[in-house]
Amino acid sequence: MFDPKAVDERLSTAVLVRLLATRTKLPIVAAGGIMDGQGIKAALDLGAAGAQLGTAFILCPESAANAAYRTSLKSERAGVTRLTSGLSGRPARGIVNHLITHAETTGAPPSAAYPMAYDVAKQLNAIAAKDGNYEFAAQWAGQGAPLARELPASDLMRALVGEMNV
């Protein structure tokens, strides 16, 4: 989201790609909720020139994600994500934890602007993590998080290409 003050209809990736494809000749890179080759193919069929996958690569051993993040992504928690400004001051989707729940509570004070909110959240997480509490971490993940696979990145890339060609 480039303009946090703009109205956000929270349209799906598919709808956004189709709208953009009808309005511009510029290349469109689809992002959001794409976890497998079928999703990439669908994005290309909708008019995207390419696709960007984020959450799909978090469980790859090459990822810098820590053990707590990986554990959350491999658990039932991955099925509960929320778009929130509470972690960073800008709308982003993450696995729901105590910090997100607190930030979204009715009557909670508004989040500070980015990057201040994100810096404070990182500091809070660092303090809590020292005691083994990871309920304040920014565990970014899209709605397709339950589809994440634990594979080396090269194997995941081969799988994605193979799935696109099915």
The DSSP code sequence of the chain is: ---TTS------HHHHHHHHHHH--S--EEESS--SHHHHHHHHHTT-SEEE-SGGGTTSTTS---HHHHHHHTSGGGG-EEEESTTTSS-EEEE--HHHHHHTSTTPPPPPPTTHHHHHHHHHHHHHHTTT--TTS--B--TTGGG-----HHHHHHHHHHHHT-
Domain count, the chain: 1
Residue 71 falls within a domain, yes or no? Answer: yes
- Name the pLDDT band for 7 (thresholds 50, 70, 90): confident
Residue 162 falls within a domain, yes or no? Answer: no
Residue 128 falls within a domain, yes or no? Answer: yes
For residue 134, what are the domain limits?
A: 64-148
Residue 144 falls within a domain, yes or no? Answer: yes
Residue 135 falls within a domain, yes or no? Answer: yes
pLDDT at 2 over 80: no
Residue 70 falls within a domain, yes or no? Answer: yes
Flag whether the pTM goes above 0.85.
yes
Q: What is the mean pLDDT of the chain?
A: 95
